[in-house]
């Protein structure tokens, strides 16, 4: 894979889309593992319009080898660098009846193992013993996110919409978007494809209009350790 153009796109636009990372058979195997898990744990959230698993790779260890196939490992190594590791993973299933609208936002928090007063870290949130905090800007700028799509996703069933280039502008409040200078891009991804993005890119999604399911595995990566005994809640090193 020639990945220089992917690196350039992420640097300039804040995202890139790569289809055919997983075969149809691989997607079926991943889906099968997810279907067979115990959903009673507190890291699982289930409602009529959303099913989510936090710390997905920890909670569903059988899925790791399926997700980190050779294509994925090459993408991570060549685009991010060989020192990057997983720091957060979430599985989202928005079923056919779900009609969520997600307003433009940046992903500004990281998941950590404890609440600890540290300069440059804050505000903090705690949900079900899960600690999240907004770290210094340079830590956010260092993170990459991969979104693995288990279903075809387009503008009709909640594909992400982004503002290209917004990841270079620091903390960017959605209410200050100047639509005379900014443009919006819709990011369709095929089943088996991935979207790589920087968490600081402004992104959101529209309501679904075609009643089709959209399942996404969201994984964040960093190559930095946190200061003063603070640790990532979910650090997973990917075997080569």
Element (H, E) at 12: helix 4-13
Instruction: Provide mean pLDDT across the span 97-109.
Output: 85
64, part of any domain: yes
The reply to whether 239 falls in a domain is: no
97 pLDDT band, cuts 50/70/90, is low
Instruction: Note whether residue 196 is domain-resident.
Output: yes
For range 11-35, the mean pLDDT: 96
Checking if the pLDDT of 48 tops 70, the result is no
Closest CA to 55 of 47, 116, 84, 64: 64
Please report which confidence band the pLDDT of residue 50 belongs to, taking 50, 70 and 90 as the band edges: low
% pLDDT > 70, the chain: 93
Peptide bond into 123 cis (omega under 30): yes
Predicted pLDDT at 99: 63
The count of other CB atoms within 10 Å of the CB of residue 109 is: 17
pLDDT at 45 > cutoff 90:
no
Tell me whether residue 77 is in a domain.
yes
- The pLDDT > 90 percentage for the chain reads 76
In this prediction, residue 158 carries a pLDDT of: 86
Q: How sure is the predictor about 130, in pLDDT bands with cuts at 50, 70 and 90?
A: confident
Range of the domain at 142: 4-222
pLDDT at 93: 87
If one counts the domains in the chain, the total is 1
Residues in the chain: 240
- Note the pLDDT of residue 64: 95
Starting at the edge strand that comes first in sequence, how are the strands of the sheet with 130-133 ordered?
110-112, 130-133, 124-127
226 CB-near residues (< 8 Å, 6+ apart): 112, 135, 139, 232
Instruction: Report the b/e string of 174-197 with b at 16+ CB within 10 A.
Output: eeeeeeeeeeeeebbbbbbbbbbb
pLDDT digits (tens, 9 = 90+) for 187-203: 999 999 999 999 999 99
CATH code of the domain containing 212: 2.60.120.620
Q: Is residue 228 part of a domain?
A: no
- Domain membership flag for residue 230: no
CB 53 within 8 A of CB 91: yes
3-state secondary structure of 44: strand
Residue 81 domain flag: yes
In this predicted model, what pLDDT tens digit does every residue of 171-181 receive, in sequence order?
999 999 999 99
What is residue 172's predicted lDDT score, i.e. its pLDDT?
A: 96
Give the predicted TM-score (pTM) of the model: 0.94
In a domain, 44, yes or no: yes
Q: Provide the pLDDT for residue 96.
A: 64
- Residue 47's pLDDT is 58
> Between residues 207 and 26, which one has the greater pLDDT?
26
Residue 103, Cβ neighbours under 10 Å: how many? Answer: 10
Contact yes or no for 97/67 (Cβ under 8 A): no
Confidence (pLDDT) at 174: 95
């Amino acid at each position: 894979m020639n990945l220089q153009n992917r690196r350039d796109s992420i640097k300039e636009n804040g995202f890139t889309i790569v289809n055919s990372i997983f075969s149809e058979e691989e997607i079926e195997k991943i889906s099968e593992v997810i279907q067979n898990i115990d959903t009673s744990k507190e890291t699982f959230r289930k409602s009529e319009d959303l099913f989510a698993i936090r710390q997905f790779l920890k909670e569903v260890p059988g899925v790791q080898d399926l997700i980190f196939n050779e294509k994925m490992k090459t993408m991570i190594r060549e685009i991010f660098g060989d020192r990057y590791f997983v720091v957060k993973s979430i599985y989202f299933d928005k079923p056919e009846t779900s009609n969520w609208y997600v307003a433009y936002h940046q992903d500004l928090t990281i998941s950590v193992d404890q609440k600890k007063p540290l300069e440059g870290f804050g505000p903090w949130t705690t949900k079900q013993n899960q600690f999240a905090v907004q770290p210094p800007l340079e830590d956010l700028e260092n993170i990459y996110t991969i979104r693995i799509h288990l279903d075809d996703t387009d503008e009709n069933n909640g594909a992400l919409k982004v503002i290209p280039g917004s990841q270079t502008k620091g903390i960017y409040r959605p209410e200050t978007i100047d639509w005379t200078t900014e443009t919006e891009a819709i990011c369709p991804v095929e089943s088996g494809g991935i979207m790589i993005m920087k968490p600081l890119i402004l992104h959101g999604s529209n309501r679904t209009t075609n009643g089709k399911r959209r399942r996404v595995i969201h994984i964040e990566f960093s190559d930095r350790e946190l200061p003063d005994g603070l640790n990532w809640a979910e650090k997973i090193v990917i075997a080569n």
